[in-house]
Amino acid sequence: MTDTPTPPWDGLILGAALATLDSDTGYGEITDGALGWRDGVLTFVGPRNALPDSPDRLAREVIEARGWITPGLVDCHTHLVFAGDRAREFELRLQGASYEAIARAGGGILSTVRATREASEDELLRQSLPRARALLADGATTLEIKSGYGLDFDSERKMLRVARRVGEVLGVTVRTTYLAAHALPPEYKERADDYIDAACDWLPRLHAEGLVDAVDAFCEGIGFTPAQTRRMFEAARALGLPVKLHADQLSDLGGAALAAEFSGLSADHVEYTSEDSVRAMAAHGTVAVLLPGAFHVLRETKLPPLDAFRVHGVPMAVATDCNPGTSPLLSMRQAMQLACTHFRLTPEEALRGATVHAAHALGLTDRGVLRVGARADFVQWQVGHPAELCYWLGGRLADAVYAGGRRIS
């Protein structure tokens, strides 16, 4: 009896259509496809009849599949690490209470800050993992998680540590974003400049612990001024950290242009972004991250400058903005559907926005497409066409979700 040679690939899926997205337009469709991987990296992407050998000689595991396979979804803007919820505030808003009235009664973002500060690290992880698992079950394979509900050194550190632990427990990439400049904590009331000084001082310590991948801020009338945001960005630049920005959500303070000035990875929300700012984003490669969940929950009417983004070639990403106050959204597919419904994105634009453009909004170039050499993050869907990912409201469409070549859902 002779020894059977060890196959070179870890896995090979046959039969499903592939939406490679490996071109500027179209889904990059390959019918009766074959997708192979080894050591977490794609080794073959093409039609079955182009395989270089018989499947059983190529891979340790060969899977016959139907439906479609797309790149894994990338949720490039979340606040999913927090304690408690604000469901009662949602009810009060529907009954006519204003955000200001809710905040005066002890609600709003500071209620989440209180709950997050009070939770232990293990408790914060326990509450956060189900939210992350829900995103993964619906096709997400990479997550961005922000701090910003701690607003003091120890609590911001705790949030970032929990975000790292989420990735370790679930076996997916988690990019952490430092968002201490999210809101003004009560102990710094009417001392926003002093708080920015403190937040800038905390950053090098947290970065030295390996907890920060990027820096964000909320540049808005109810947040921080462009000048204060600039100071936060300068602190990030001194450490070689990329920046992102909650920009132009409620008014045009030139936030998107400020992010572009610092060659920011992304400007997020961008409902009030001007065409001049769009041009600046295009010139500096800054991605526009659309957050239709918050638009939907807040019942906003001001649309982002979508045509300007298209005309000037600014990539549009789509993300959940998962957070307890304005976007309690636990599905990237639902975010894609809302982007199509509210913003009139095409299903192809929404899928690109949730994959390749979202990856670029995190500074990641090794995922978001199906091509040889890319990370083996992909989803097998029980659909007849990729447009169905944006068509169905709810339900489970993912048959299998793989991150780094390992099935995670």
Q: What residues form the annotated binding site?
A: 77, 79, 86, 149, 182, 246, 249, 321, 323, 325-326
Dig out the tokens for 117 from the structure: 């500060």
What residue numbers does the annotated binding site for Zn(2+) cover? 77, 79, 246, 321
SS3 378: strand
Q: Which long-range contacts (CB under 8 A, 24 or more apart) does 200-204 make?
A: 200/231, 200/232, 200/235, 202/153, 202/156, 203/178, 203/235, 203/236, 203/239, 203/241, 204/235, 204/239
Contacts of 182 (CB under 8 A, 6+ apart): 109, 146, 147, 148, 149, 151, 216, 217, 218, 223
Pick the closest to residue 33 from 72, 63, 59, 60 (CA basis).
63
Euclidean distance between CA atoms 26 and 158, whole angstroms: 43
Pick the closest to residue 15 from 5, 2, 30, 3 (CA basis).
30
What residue numbers does the annotated binding site for 4-imidazolone-5-propanoate cover? 86, 149, 182, 249, 326
Dig out the tokens for 247 from the structure: 């920009």
Contacts of 193 (CB under 8 A, 6+ apart): 228
Dig out the tokens for 276 from the structure: 């001049």
Count CA atoms within 13 Å of residue 361 on its CB side.
Answer: 35
What residue numbers does the annotated binding site for N-formimidoyl-L-glutamate cover? 149, 323, 325
What residue numbers does the annotated binding site for Fe(3+) cover? 77, 79, 246, 321
Euclidean distance between CA atoms 92 and 285, whole angstroms: 41
Euclidean distance between CA atoms 397 and 66, whole angstroms: 12
Q: What angle do CA 183, 338, 148 make, to 5 degrees?
A: 15
Euclidean distance between CA atoms 260 and 251, whole angstroms: 17
* Alpha-carbon dihedral sign for residues 327, 333, 334, 337: positive
Give the burial string for 305-327 (b: 16+ CB within 10 Å, else e).
Answer: bbebbeeeebbbbbbbbbbbbbb
